[in-house]
């Protein structure tokens, strides 16, 4: 459903338990941005339906990329959470870390499946982008091409 956005910063929201998705009316004027944001929100529904092993696989990819010095993300939602992480969050798998992992998954999926090839929020360099695309493709293959929502 479309609704009046709660503000300029937030263009959408997912309510997983109620199985509802709200998109800012203003997104109708920007089809590329609408696809990016709608896909991000849709992948929140996918994330909660993945197995623990699949979610851990994504988490391990992020750990490996960080260890290799990756900086940047594929959306502001993940990037702002990444910026607030402390080393202890990663070690303890704190709530902040787990929220980052989830937002990174949703932003990466919106990038991989979306219409936009360039965007100011796509700051993660290669080869890290391709690794994320390959990991997402593996998850899709694992589900026979049909992702649960």
Whichever of 70 and 106 has its CB closer to Zn ion, that residue is: 106
**Window 85-124: contact mask with Zn ion (x via CB under 5 A):** ------------------x--x------------------
Whichever of 127 and 148 has its CB closer to Zn ion, that residue is: 148
Min dist CB 119 to Zn ion, Å, is 16
15: β partners:
20
23: β partners:
2, 12
Quick one: which H or E segment has residue 137? helix 128-142
Q: How many residues bind Zn ion (CB under 5 A)?
A: 3
Q: Which stretch binds Zn ion (CB under 5 A): 24-32, 74-82, 125-133, 136-144?
A: 74-82
HEC profile for 62-130? HHHHHHCCCCCCCCHHHHHHHHCCCHHHHHHCCHHHHHHHHHHHHHHHHHHHCCCCCCCCCCCCCCHHH
**Residue of the chain from 27, 43, 77, 111 that contacts Zn ion (CB under 5 A):** 77
Q: Binding residues for Zn ion, per CB under 5 A?
A: 77, 103, 106
């Amino acid at each position: 459903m479309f609704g009046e956005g709660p503000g300029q910063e937030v263009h959408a929201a997912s309510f997983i338990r109620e199985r509802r998705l709200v998109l800012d009316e203003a997104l109708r004027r920007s089809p590329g941005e609408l696809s990016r944001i709608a896909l991000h929100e849709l992948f929140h529904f996918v994330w909660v339906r993945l197995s623990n092993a699949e979610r851990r696989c994504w988490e391990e990819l992020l750990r490996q990329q960080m260890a290799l010095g990756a900086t940047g993300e594929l959306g502001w939602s993940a990037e702002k959470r990444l910026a607030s992480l402390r080393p202890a969050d990663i070690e303890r798998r704190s709530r902040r870390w787990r929220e980052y992992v989830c937002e990174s998954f949703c932003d990466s999926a919106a990038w991989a499946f979306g219409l936009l090839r360039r965007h100011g929020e796509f700051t993660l360099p290669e080869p890290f982008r391709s690794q994320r695309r390959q990991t997402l493709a593996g998850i899709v293959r694992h589900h026979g091409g049909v992702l649960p929502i």
